[in-house]
Structure 1
């Protein structure tokens, strides 16, 4: 017998016929028709160059070769079944898996506290790695498995990706509470006359620039930082102002918020994942947990 040409599907046929000692019972157990089962047994005999089973009354008795094959083949089949069971099963209570999330400031503020509280009871040994990458690297990180999910206001992940809307966020202007030149409503003149802190981590400032450019107006950008949190801390201790998603600064002291003096679309915060992970049971569990925590 040449193992390179051996049909591994016949392993199960052999093991079930050996256990049940009946071709018809084995066909029912596997879900094959009687002719299909007989054909499979014929092919198995041809590949092994041995009858394997001989009829004795109503039962099929194994030959000496069949007796010698049964133990190793049953163990091999069991090993294959166990391997696939482990690959598809996920038990959050006992899992030690680490999920890697690409998250914006807003995602961290809104999602992480709720997620970590839920994991403490539902999956105590599961851990989360929240990180940042340049937006240009998101697709390759999700595609390769370097990251499991991306959560944020992301508009560039399309072909090959799934998404689920989690919540909307409103853009606001922030300034320190005792800013000497800002009293009353934030007008466009006041907004443009102040020094601004901008953040490169999210898409907010790119949208602001696009909106102002359409009006042939520009801000006076004094400082560029990486994250909204950092810009908010600087704003609270200076006379600079910034434009941020509202949830990015929830609970931060020393800040006053203003409605923007021009129209901006709301930030649509979604979770994104690559199709390679769409049917993974552990991945699906995490996505459903996050959605339940945010959407209720």
Structure 2
């Protein structure tokens, strides 16, 4: 059966939405139509192209080989059309009432979200911003399906997503002022550091790099105590003079201003951690996405992070890390 000479552009939008979300329900929500309307449009396109395009596998709509082949051209074509329209009409952040979803780690939400929200609301007072708990394993699916708009993470994300480096973060050694190594003349020696009792945060994206640095030094990182949250570190270290933690040095310096803690340079070679902003690849509302991406890049690059919130001090009483 020959292909039709013309295909309704709305059918292409439905196809792309279903392909990206793998869900009729989610595609309908994105397009602001009902699920039956999506099913009807998909049925028309199936007849026009003489291919089922998607088959239900469990709860997901899996594309056929023809759909996989069609998607790049359809997606790029829609993106070109939408960007052309945005170039004429433009995105007006002052009038936008859309919801934006940004995935952030615990530290990202504490340190960067206040600056992100301030930058967004200063230009887009009606735009709704939702911080989504970061799940590094789920990020490729979230970004490719449009579940989130952006993600701030220092963990690499597979899939070749467009991203910008926001920070390059080195690490330091944090401990109680009462720790035997706190007043070590000339700083901590590598031997003393390797032999010490360490506390780590399970979700710290720098932990694999730290473990690699230990291996290069011919040692194994002894994770004597493991925490779930960075916010638990300052009070634990302050009351545990036998433990030390290897954490981002800017955050450590900030905590040392208001807790009875000291920070020393890391005595072994550890690769710096890059904090990056990733953006979704889906095609909806690209003008809004471009604006949000650029706004978040400027906001995070322009701040040291508001990590003073972890100890509840007033803004003026602690030095920013």
TM-score band w.r.t. shorter chain: 0.5 to 0.7
Instruction: State which of 281, 290, 293 in structure 2 corresponds to 1:275.
Output: 281
Give the structure 2 partner of residue 293 of structure 1. Answer: 299
Number of residue pairs matched by the alignment: 217
Say if 1:126 and 1:251 are closer, same or farther in 2 by CA, change over 3 A.
farther
Q: Distance in 2 between matches of 1:237 and 1:142?
A: 41
Q: Distance in 1 between matches of 2:270 and 2:226?
A: 21
Q: Distance in 1 between matches of 2:6 and 2:150?
A: 41
Bigger Rg over Cα: 1
Give the structure 1 partner of residue 204 of structure 2. Answer: 202
Q: Distance in 1 between matches of 2:146 and 2:188?
A: 45
Say if 1:131 and 1:245 are closer, same or farther in 2 by CA, change over 3 A.
farther
Give the structure 1 partner of residue 162 of structure 2. Answer: 162
- Residues 1:149 and 2:155 are matched in the alignment: no
Secondary structure of the residue aligned to 1:146 is coil
* TM-score under structure 1 length normalisation: 0.64
Give the structure 2 partner of residue 238 of structure 1. Answer: 240
Say if 1:5 and 1:118 are closer, same or farther in 2 by CA, change over 3 A.
closer
> Any idea what the Cα deviations from partners look like across 1:128-166, whole Å, max 9, x if unmatched?
22233332111112122222111121223343x101111
Q: Distance in 2 between matches of 1:155 and 1:8?
A: 39
Q: Distance in 2 between matches of 1:216 and 1:257?
A: 24
> Any idea what the Cα deviations from partners look like across 1:198-235, whole Å, max 9, x if unmatched?
11223211111111122220233222122323233322
Secondary structure of the residue aligned to 2:200 is strand
Q: Distance in 2 between matches of 1:112 and 1:197?
A: 26
Secondary structure of the residue aligned to 2:198 is strand
> Any idea what the Cα deviations from partners look like across 1:41-95, whole Å, max 9, x if unmatched?
xxxxxxxxxxxxxxxxxxxxxxxxxxxxxxxxxxxxxxxx9xx88xx85332232
* Residues 252, 263 of structure 2: 8 Å contact kept: no
The equivalences for 1:1-296 within 5 A come to 90-159=91-160, 161-184=161-184, 185-239=187-241, 240-249=243-252, 251-252=254-255, 253-254=258-259, 255-276=261-282, 280-295=286-301
Q: Distance in 1 between matches of 2:247 and 2:152?
A: 17
> Any idea what the Cα deviations from partners look like across 1:241-285, whole Å, max 9, x if unmatched?
111112444532212111111011211111012322597111111
Q: Distance in 2 between matches of 1:267 and 1:152?
A: 10
Q: Distance in 2 between matches of 1:98 and 1:250?
A: 35
Structure 1 stretches of at least 4 aligned residues deviating more than 4 Å after TM superposition: 4-9
> Any idea what the Cα deviations from partners look like across 1:149-203, whole Å, max 9, x if unmatched?
11121223343x1011112111111112332443221222222232211112232
Q: Distance in 1 between matches of 2:280 and 2:227?
A: 30
Q: Distance in 1 between matches of 2:248 and 2:170?
A: 6
Secondary structure of the residue aligned to 2:191 is helix
Say if 1:203 and 1:144 are closer, same or farther in 2 by CA, change over 3 A.
same
Per mean C-alpha deviation after superposition, the further-off stretch among 258-267 and 170-179 is 170-179
Say if 1:90 and 1:230 are closer, same or farther in 2 by CA, change over 3 A.
farther
* TM-score under structure 2 length normalisation: 0.59
**What's the CA shift for 1:105?**
4.3
Q: Distance in 1 between matches of 2:104 and 2:127?
A: 18
* Residues 143, 281 of structure 2: 8 Å contact kept: no
